[in-house]
């Protein structure tokens, strides 16, 4: 919401009124995946898929602020998202492939 990640399940609709809302569906443009979406595929960072939208949108918010984060900064940037399938390694690799130092 307005370039910041929020917990959609804890955000009242009234709080979103008049705000710029980005969802995972809005990242792809003209039928082409966003580089983060493609990197998650290329680096096998998608398992069950439950956490993937939140991971990608958190990564996008991070990369919008810091285009070349370190691994530690990536891990901090996705810290609010829980994944029980991947162990985070492939997710971090995918994000670093798009914008790592």
Domains of the chain: 24-99 (1.10.150.120)
Average pLDDT over residues 3-27: 91
Neighbour tally for 44: CB within 10 Å: 13
User: Is residue 38 over pLDDT 70?
Assistant: yes
| Cβ atoms of residues 55 and 27 within 8 Å | no
Rounded to whole angstroms, the Cα distance separating 70 from 21 reads 27
Q: What is the pLDDT of residue 101?
A: 64
Cβ within 8 Å of residue 65, ≥6 positions away: none
Q: Give the residue among 41, 32, 29 at the shortest CA–CA distance from 94.
A: 41
Confidence bin at 8 (pLDDT 50/70/90)? confident
Average pLDDT for 77-97: 92
Contact 32, 88 (CB under 8 A): no
């Amino acid at each position: 919401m307005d370039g910041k990640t929020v917990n959609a399940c804890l955000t009242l609709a009234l709080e979103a009124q008049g705000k710029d809302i980005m969802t995972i569906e809005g990242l792809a443009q003209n039928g082409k995946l966003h580089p983060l979406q493609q990197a998650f595929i290329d680096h096998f960072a998608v398992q069950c898929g439950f956490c993937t939208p939140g991971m990608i949108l958190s990564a996008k918010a991070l990369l919008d602020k810091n285009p070349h984060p370190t691994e530690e900064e990536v891990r901090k940037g996705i810290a609010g998202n829980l994944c029980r399938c991947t162990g985070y390694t492939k997710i971090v690799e995918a994000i670093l492939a798009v914008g790592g130092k």
